[in-house]
Every structure is written in structure tokens, then in C-alpha cells.
Structure 1
Amino acid sequence: MMPVVCSFYIRVPVGDGQFYYDHVNVGSPHGDGKLHTPNPPQAGDLIHLWDTVRQQGGTYEVLARKWLHSSYGSFNWPVLELQPTVGPLLDLIVEPAEDVFRDQALRSDEEGTTP
């Protein structure tokens, strides 16, 4: 199974219902700033991203996904090949989100202690 090539974009509001979409350059052995994975995140998932260029990151919620599959005869699926040479491309729109443990309360025996 070919891995899915994921590109992440942070949705930043600029007013009047419009947004900037800032690309996140994810560290990768491929050197393309994209996540190559057999298990891409689903809409609604929380994911931690680290931008290797901006040196910043955090927890984000996946808002939307857009798939692009190779067409037969294209660069990524040459004629006479039985399958594409590159997995599908997936653009993911994310926005900053709180962690899943955001509402965790301290137990009475933990108060005043640090982890």
C-alpha cells in the first residue's frame, strides 16, 4: 500500500469570513515538508504538528480534507504501470485546538505538586 502524502495548512482568520492558509513544513526524510503515512488523520482528529521552518507548533484539529489521486498516464502513474508510483495527495486544513486533557482536574492528593 502506498503511503498518503499529507500537506497541512493552518487556517488563520483575517476577518469578513476570510482566512489565510499557512503551510506547515513537517520534518520528513523525503525533504518535502509533508507527512507520508498509511494512516492520515480524519476530520475532527487532534494532531500535534511542528513546523521545522518556523520552529513552532502545537495541537490542531483537522477541519477538512481534500484528496488528489493520480490519473493513469500522468507523471505519478506512468503508462503501462499497474498502479501509481506515488500515493494519493491529501491537503488537510487545521486550526489551533486545546489538548484532549484540557478539562482534567487535579486529585486532592496531587494539589501543589508538579508532574
Structure 2
Amino acid sequence: MTPVACSFYVRTPVGADQFYYDPINVASPHGDGKLHTLHPPLPGDLIHLWDTVKNLGGTHEVLARRWLHSSYGSFNWPVLEPQPTVGPLLELIVVPAEDAFRNQVLRPDEEGPTL
């Protein structure tokens, strides 16, 4: 099974039903700014993303996904090959989100951090 190359875009509202979609460049051994994984996140999932170009990041919620598969006879799926030589591309739209443990409090018997 070939990994999915995931590209992430942060959606930012700029008006009534209008948005900016800014790419997030994640560290990758491929040097392409994509997350290569066999388990791409689903809409509703929380994922921590760090942009290596902007040097910032945080927790994001996946809003939507768009798959891009290779066409038979293309460079990524040569004629007579039974399957593509490269995995599909997946574009994911995300928005900044709070962490899953945002409502966590200390138990009465636990000591809080000292300042």
C-alpha cells in the first residue's frame, strides 16, 4: 500500500462566505511540505500541524478533504501497470482549534504548577 500525500490549508474568513486558504508546509523527508501517511485524518479529527516555513503551528480541526487520484496512462500510473506507482494526493482544509484536553482541571489532591 502506498502512502497518501496530505497537503493542509488553513481556512481564514475574510468576509461573508469568503475565505483565504493558506498552505501549511510540514516537515517531510520528501521535502515537499506534505504529510505522507497511511492514515490520513478525517473531517472532525484534531491534528497538530507545524509550518516549517512560517515557524508556527498548533492544533487544527479537519473540515473537509479532496482526493486527487492518478489517471491510468499518466506518469504516476504507467500503461500496463496494475496500479499507480505513487499514492493519491489529499488536500485537507483545516481551521485552528482548541486542544482535546481544553477543559481539563486538576483534581483537588493534585498539585498545580509552581510559578
Could you state the TM-score of these two structures normalised by the residue count of structure 2? 0.95
Corresponding residue of 2:21: 21
- 1:101 aligns to what SS in structure 2? coil
Corresponding residue of 1:65: 65
Corresponding residue of 2:5: 5
Corresponding residue of 1:37: 37
Asked if 1:108 corresponds to 2:112, the answer is: no
* Paired positions, count: 114
Q: State percent identity of aligned pairs.
A: 75
Q: One-letter code of the match for 1:3?
A: P
CA deviation profile, 1:63-92 (whole Å, cap 9, x unmatched): 000001111001110112111011011000
Q: One-letter code of the match for 1:109?
A: D
Q: How many angstroms apart in 2 are the aligned matches of 1:35 and 1:107? A: 37
Q: One-letter code of the match for 2:109?
A: D
Q: One-letter code of the match for 1:36?
A: H
Deviation at 1:15, TM superposition (A): 1.2
Deviation at 1:17, TM superposition (A): 1.4
Segments ≥4 residues shifted beyond 2 Å:
none
| Structure 1: tracts of 5 or more residues without a match | none
CA deviation profile, 1:18-68 (whole Å, cap 9, x unmatched): 000000001000000001100000000000000000000000000000001
State the Cα RMSD in Å. Answer: 1.1
Deviation at 1:105, TM superposition (A): 1.7
Deviation at 1:109, TM superposition (A): 2.2
Q: One-letter code of the match for 2:113?
A: T
Q: How many angstroms apart in 1 are the aligned matches of 2:77 and 2:7? A: 20
